[in-house]
Amino acid sequence: MPNLRFTEQPLSEWMSRGGIQSDIVISTRVRIARNLMHQPFPMLATNQQSEEVLKKLEDVLTDEQIQACGKLYPVLLADLDELDKKVLVEKHLISPNLASESRNGAVFISEDESLSIMVNEEDHLRIQCLYPGFQVQEAWERASSVDDIFEAHVDYAFDDRRGYLTSCPTNVGTGLRASVMMHLPALVLTQQINRILSAVSQVGLTVRGIYGEGSEAMGNLFQISNQITLGQSEAEIIENLYGVALQIIQHEKNAREKLITESRLRMTDRVMRSFGILSHAAIIDSKEAAQRLSDVRLGVDLGLIENLSPNVLNELNVLTQPGFLQKKYGENMSPGERDMYRAKLIRERMGEY
C-alpha cells in the first residue's frame, strides 16, 4: 500500500510552529541538487539505470546517520494516483517535475514534513528543508548536514572548476537554491512592490510565485530566491539572501505602518469586506480566494481582526488548492464545481470565528 499519510492533512506540522518574522515571512526553503558520478542524468537514464540510482540512494537513506536526523517515510511516485501527486506538489513536498515526468521517482519525507528528499527528479537527488518564518541559516545547516552524509556514501558528479554538475546549467556550481516566501500586501497597496522587486533582481536574486519558476505570485505571496549558483560560495548565497530579505521585511513593515496610520478606516473596510466575502460567498475562484485571504491575514497582523489564528489561513491556503479540494470531497471536479466547494469549505472554516 502507498504511504498516503502526507496527503491527508493540509497543514504540515512544521507550519504550525511559527517562526521569526512570521507575520511577513511565511516560510524558508533550502534545496540542494546533486547527481551521482558515472550515472546518466535522469532525463537520459533508462528504466534500469534509474532503478539502480533509487536503490543506491535508498541504501543511504536507511543509514543510522540519516535516520538520526529524523525518521523518513518512503513514498514511491508509481504507487500514487494523479490526485495524490498533485496534493504533494501543493504542499511543496515534491516538485511538479517529479510528479509528472520522473522515472522511478520517489520522495522520503520526515515526520513533520520539514525535510523531503526527492530521488530521480530533474537531478538524481534533491534535498529540501522547509522551515517556518525567517530561518535561512537554520534551514541551510540542516540541508547541508544531510548532504554531507550522502557525500560520505556516494560519489557525486563534480568538476574541480565548475563545481557540482546538474541537469540544468542554472544549478551548476553549488546546486543550492535558498528562498523565502514573503507576504507583501502593504508594498503592493502602496505601489512600491515593482521598485522593490526590480532592485532585488540587481543583486543576484529572483522573484517567483508560490510554486516556483513560471508560477503566479497570487495572494501577495512572493518567493525570493538566489539566481546565481556558480561563482559564489554557499555562505555568500545564504548571506546575500538573508541581507536582502531583511531589507524587504523592513520596507513591508514601514508600508504597513503607513497604511494603518494614514488609512486605518479604509484598511479596516478592505479587511472586513474580504472577511465578509469569505464568510458568505457561494462561489469563489482560487485567485480571488488567495487575494481575500491575503487581506484577512494583513488584518490579523495589523490587529484589525482578533482571535483568528494565522494557522487557519495557512491551512486554507493549502485546502483551497485544486488537488486538496478534490481529495477532501472525494471526487474529480470541473473548475466551476471547485469554485463552489472552495467557497463552501472557506465558509465553514471562517464561520468558526
Q: Does 284 count as an annotated binding residue? A: no
Q: Which three cell numbers stand for residue 121?
A: 527528479
CA pair distance 228, 151, nearest whole angstrom:
23
Q: Does 126 count as an annotated binding residue? A: yes
Q: Does 182 count as an annotated binding residue? A: no
Q: Does 208 count as an annotated binding residue? A: yes
How wide is the angle at C-alpha 6 spanned by C-alphas 21 and 117, nearest 5°? 75
Q: Does 27 count as an annotated binding residue? A: yes
Q: Does 264 count as an annotated binding residue? A: no
Q: Does 213 count as an annotated binding residue? A: yes
Q: Does 153 count as an annotated binding residue? A: no
Q: Return all residues near 269 (Cβ < 8 A) that are at least 6 apart.
A: none
Q: Does 242 count as an annotated binding residue? A: no
Contact between 232 and 225 (Cβ < 8 Å): no
Q: Which three cell numbers stand for residue 59?
A: 541504501
Q: Does 70 count as an annotated binding residue? A: no
Q: Does 30 count as an annotated binding residue? A: yes
Q: Does 28 count as an annotated binding residue? A: yes
Q: Does 183 count as an annotated binding residue? A: no
How wide is the angle at C-alpha 14 spanned by C-alphas 341 and 142, nearest 5°? 140
Q: Does 105 count as an annotated binding residue? A: no
Integer angstrom CA distances of residue 60 from 94, 106, 141, 151, 315: 20, 14, 19, 10, 33
Length of the chain: 353
Q: Does 181 count as an annotated binding residue? A: yes
Q: Does 318 count as an annotated binding residue? A: no
Q: Does 179 count as an annotated binding residue? A: yes
Contact between 185 and 195 (Cβ < 8 Å): no
Q: Does 204 count as an annotated binding residue? A: no
Q: Report the run of H or E that residue 173 belongs to, with start and end.
A: none
For the annotated binding site, the residues are 27-31, 92, 126, 177-181, 208-213
**Known binding-site positions for ATP:** 27-31, 92, 126, 177-181, 208-213
